[in-house]
Amino acid sequence: MKKSLLLSVFAALACWSGMAVAQDYVPVVREGVQRVYLYDMGHNDADVYVFYTEEMRGETIINGIQYSNLYRYYGKELDVNITAPYAYVREVDKRVYAVLDENHPFEDLNVYTNGAPVIKTDNFEETGEYLIYDFNDFVAFYDEHSMYKIVSTGEETVGDAMRTAYYLNEGKTGLILESVGAVTEGGLLFPLTGKWVNGNHPTTKGLSHVIENGEIVYKSPRYEEMQNKVNPTGISDITVAKKTNGDNRYYNLMGQPVAEPTQPGIYIHQGKKIVIK
């Protein structure tokens, strides 16, 4: 009897040890994390997909407030010497705040808001700061400030822990995930993104996966689909495009025409990716 009881206890412990367990809240804003997103260039009505990464590194003081630098880059590693911060973010009491870089002011974009919460803080005039996530009561926060509603909540595994998930639709492709941020279109700053009014423009198609300490700790529900859209070896190979009588301009990964590039980076030329190292 005692032997069978001990075996049951050991079996239960073994089962429990192999499961993800709930842990204390982990901030969204933290260094050492790479969030990898799929990007649709939307160039000449052709599907041209690449991956880009968002990563926080270093700090900036804005009007006496300390922010983490948020970078967006397209290579395998972040080089802060050639990449400027895309935005500045901070987190206090489970609330995430963001200030867009002066080259990406929200009001200057030719967009209309996508219905995600866009809340100016009390010190907006001095800092340009928005409150974009509030994980104290995210359902109430999101439903109050968004035209979209959270249809259900649940849990998703991130690393070895279970994190609270907020689903924006029944298909669970619209997802906000505690400690990760937006898994849906728009990147980490999803609440500050918009949709272009006219034309075919580049768009972030959502989160592929999250890397922490060199290991993938989270794969989105569309991970395999996204991997299939991007040639895994194409990102590191140089493609030599033949000249045609058509559009011979070069574009950066924001879809903007540029002079024939000489600086390291990824460019689009005649619908093909070109990598300059």
Mean pLDDT of the region 228-255: 55
Which tens digit of pLDDT belongs to each residue from 83-93? Answer: 889 889 999 99
Query: What is the structure's pLDDT at 8?
Result: 55
193: tokens are 């993104």
Q: Where are the domains of the chain?
A: 22-148+179-230, 232-277
Distance CA 76, CA 87 (A): 20
Alpha helices in 121-277 (DSSP H): 124-127, 138-145, 223-229
pLDDT above 80 for 103? no
Contacts of 69 (CB under 8 A, 6+ apart): 56, 57, 58, 59, 60, 80, 85, 88
Residue whose structure tokens are 């995600």: 116
pLDDT above 90 for 269? no
Closest C-alpha to 53, from 24, 81, 83: 83
Closest C-alpha to 58, from 66, 49, 47: 66
The residues that bridge with 196 in the sheet, in sequence order, are 111
Query: What is the structure's pLDDT at 145?
Result: 74
Query: What is the structure's pLDDT at 84?
Result: 87
pLDDT above 70 for 1? no
Measured in whole angstroms, how far is the alpha carbon of residue 236 from the centre of its chain? Answer: 21
Backbone torsions φ then ψ of 26, nearest 5 degrees: -115, 125
Distance CA 178, CA 174 (A): 14
Which tens digit of pLDDT belongs to each residue from 166-211? Answer: 998 777 778 899 999 999 877 888 776 654 444 445 677 889 999 9
Query: What is the structure's pLDDT at 268?
Result: 74
Closest C-alpha to 172, from 161, 184, 164, 163: 184
SS3 8: helix
Mean pLDDT of the region 264-277: 70
